[in-house]
Structure 1
Amino acid sequence: MKFTEDFTFYLKQERKSENTIKGYLLNVQQYIKWFEASYGLECNSLYRQNVLEYISFLKNIKVQNAKTINHKISSLTKFNVFLIDQKVQEEKVIYKTDMLKVQTAYASPTKVSEIEVKQFLQNILESKNKRNYAIAVLLAYTGLRISEALSIKLRDLNLQTGECIIRNGKGEKQRVTLLNSRVSHAVGGYLKERNHSAVSQTSPYLFISKKREQLERTVVNRLFNMYSQTITPHQLRHFFCTNAIEKGFSIHEVANQAGHSNVNTTLLYTNPNQKS
């Protein structure tokens, strides 16, 4: 099949780059070489059965990865369109469904290191505000969403068993979150201080302000901005997931704790050394 000049011209008309054109030509030439070696015949057209056999050859004999094979399929797809345009053949023989699924290597969403989180928590601790410290520690070591943390009611908290019921999780799902000793100690210290507030007599919520029965998210955001330009409540959630997996927790344990409805979300944290 003599096609090189016409196919090149066709691709240039579509304003493809020189590198793209070279890639298309190379991939098509490799297919033709395979076809002629396999069948001892000249390749005059594309047939679906041949293309499927070629894909199987690339996968099982050449053992090429999915991304490389998909590049070759894309080139043959474009060549197929070219042959139809040139009236060499009429039918489309390659489809989008022929592309192989590529397993993407996701980078962990966390942008803060453990030492940065520890320094952040230490600075809040030294401010001597036990409520602020309790919130930050809770978020860093439970993986709670900020909305979940601020909605915790006293009746849902049991520091003796180290458990907290989250009633307003995403999708209105309820779950039990475990509190480690660091969280229990920080929250316990805050509760002693909380009892001296006038609002504490009427508010069912764990976290309160001097005038409101439920602490507002904007207050927490301002607090975080005071101590860090990079650490946010949501970043602490990312930190928890990555840190827990690094410490040996299973994917399902972390998914449960963080309230992920799909473990694929949790799997994003299995590449802790990459930055997104």
Structure 2
Amino acid sequence: MKLQLLSQFEKYLIVEAKSHNTIKSYVAHVNEYLAWFKESYGTPCSKLYRENILDYKSYLLNVKKYKGKNLNGKTINSKLSSLHSLNKFLVIEGIQAEDVITKSDFIKIQVDYANPCDITKKDVEHFRQQILEAGEKRLYALVTLLAYGGLRITEALNVKLGDYNFTSRELIVYGKGGKQRVVYLNSKIVNSFREYLKVRKHDSEYLFVSREKGKIDRSVINKHFKKFSNKITPHMLRHFYCTTALESGFSIHEVANQAGHRDLKTSLIYTNPSREEMKRKAELL
């Protein structure tokens, strides 16, 4: 499969309104399949055949390992999903006529019952205070937005100077698929923004900027997070927001609206006990 075609596939994903991270993941998975194909059959892959896909699925299930362990069903489904998108693209381009991947090919996974949030408000406040005392006002404002606004990290880094209003305490967020929603800001977020803006020196339209260029990259943020915690991540703060919002009296529909969940089932998971709490209960049996 030629590099030009893979470049067109990437553009197709952009048109399909896939997020930056999804596109990056899909392209990586496709390249992994192409490398496996060439190594397995001794020839470059020109199109997708069902027989090859089933062989690859078997390889993922029984041979390929990650850190010495077999891949889990969610990871395998992610790889198959990327190939399914490639399949649709190849059909559109007229390179092949049939869809060789079906829903039945995906591994059925039982939805995790436990609440994925395993940090407390004390953990989050200690994390924020460490960042504040280190003089990291930009990171402090970002962490506060994630923890008390519930944004995805990509959504937060895409916030522009004109997207928020301190008077109305509202922030316009552009989420997955280009969907727009309004997130309501509490005093913690507003105050952290105001203090950050006092020291922010950049003419970029984006709120969170690097010293060298415009919008800061999420990989840089991940490194900064690790300086202060080996447990708290940007996405864990999103879990914290959803859990805390429900505990504070938000309804399921309100949390789904603020967090930008497409399905209420996603919000409902935060009403459940954490994994640690379920383990504790298991010991009581």
What is the aligned partner in structure 1 of residue 127 from structure 2? 120
Write the mapping of 1:95-106 to structure 2, written as runs, cut at 5 A.
106=113
Answering whether residue 198 of structure 2 is matched by residue 187 of structure 1, we say: no
Alignment partners' CA distance in 1, 2:112 and 2:249: 20
Q: CA deviation at 1:104?
A: 7.5
Answering whether residue 213 of structure 2 is matched by residue 206 of structure 1, we say: no
Answering whether residue 130 of structure 2 is matched by residue 129 of structure 1, we say: no
Q: Could you tell me which amino acid in structure 2 is paired with residue 166 of structure 1?
A: V
Q: Could you tell me which amino acid in structure 2 is paired with residue 178 of structure 1?
A: Y
Dislocated runs of 4+, deviation >4 Å: none
Alignment partners' CA distance in 2, 1:222 and 1:231: 12
Q: Could you tell me which amino acid in structure 2 is paired with residue 170 of structure 1?
A: K
What is the aligned partner in structure 1 of residue 87 from structure 2? none
What is the aligned partner in structure 1 of residue 162 from structure 2? 155
Alignment partners' CA distance in 1, 2:215 and 2:111: 42
Larger radius of gyration: 1
Determine if contact 1:242/1:272 at 8 Å carries over to the other structure.
Answer: no
Determine if contact 2:256/2:264 at 8 Å carries over to the other structure.
Answer: yes
Answering whether residue 240 of structure 2 is matched by residue 234 of structure 1, we say: no
Alignment partners' CA distance in 2, 1:254 and 1:272: 17
Alignment partners' CA distance in 1, 2:237 and 2:231: 10
What is the aligned partner in structure 1 of residue 220 from structure 2? 219
Alignment partners' CA distance in 2, 1:273 and 1:182: 26
**TM-align CA RMSD:** 1.6
Alignment partners' CA distance in 2, 1:212 and 1:232: 24
Post-superposition Cα deviations, 1:54-101, rounded to whole Å, max 9, x if no partner, equal: xxxxxxxxxxxxxxxxxxxxxxxxxxxxxxxxxxxxxxxxxxxxxxxx
Answering whether residue 258 of structure 2 is matched by residue 257 of structure 1, we say: yes
Determine if contact 2:118/2:275 at 8 Å carries over to the other structure.
Answer: no
What is the aligned partner in structure 2 of residue 177 from structure 1? 183
Alignment partners' CA distance in 2, 1:235 and 1:175: 21
Alignment partners' CA distance in 1, 2:215 and 2:209: 5
Alignment partners' CA distance in 1, 2:144 and 2:111: 33
Write the mapping of 1:2-17 to structure 2, written as runs, cut at 5 A.
none
Q: Could you tell me which amino acid in structure 1 is paired with residue 144 of structure 2?
A: V
Alignment partners' CA distance in 2, 1:104 and 1:259: 20
Structure 1: runs of 5+ lacking an equivalent: 1-102
Secondary structure of the 2:162 match is helix
Secondary structure of the 2:221 match is helix
Q: Could you tell me which amino acid in structure 1 is paired with residue 233 of structure 2?
A: T
Q: CA deviation at 1:272?
A: 3.8
TM-score calculated relative to the size of structure 2: 0.57
Determine if contact 1:242/1:269 at 8 Å carries over to the other structure.
Answer: yes
Alignment partners' CA distance in 1, 2:149 and 2:227: 22
Alignment partners' CA distance in 2, 1:121 and 1:272: 25
Write the mapping of 1:73-84 to structure 2, written as runs, cut at 5 A.
none
Structure 2: runs of 5+ lacking an equivalent: 1-109, 279-285
Q: CA deviation at 1:157?
A: 1.2
Q: Could you tell me which amino acid in structure 2 is paired with residue 269 of structure 1?
A: Y
Q: CA deviation at 1:105?
A: 8.0
Alignment partners' CA distance in 2, 1:257 and 1:270: 16
Secondary structure of the 1:175 match is strand
What is the aligned partner in structure 2 of residue 98 from structure 1? none
Q: CA deviation at 1:193?
A: 1.1
Write the mapping of 1:44-123 to structure 2, written as runs, cut at 5 A.
106-123=113-130
Post-superposition Cα deviations, 1:173-227, rounded to whole Å, max 9, x if no partner, equal: 1101111010000011101111xx2xx22x1000001111101101110110000
Alignment partners' CA distance in 2, 1:110 and 1:122: 20
Determine if contact 1:130/1:186 at 8 Å carries over to the other structure.
Answer: yes
Post-superposition Cα deviations, 1:205-264, rounded to whole Å, max 9, x if no partner, equal: 000011111011011101100000010000000000001101111111111110001111
Secondary structure of the 1:230 match is coil
Determine if contact 1:110/1:272 at 8 Å carries over to the other structure.
Answer: no
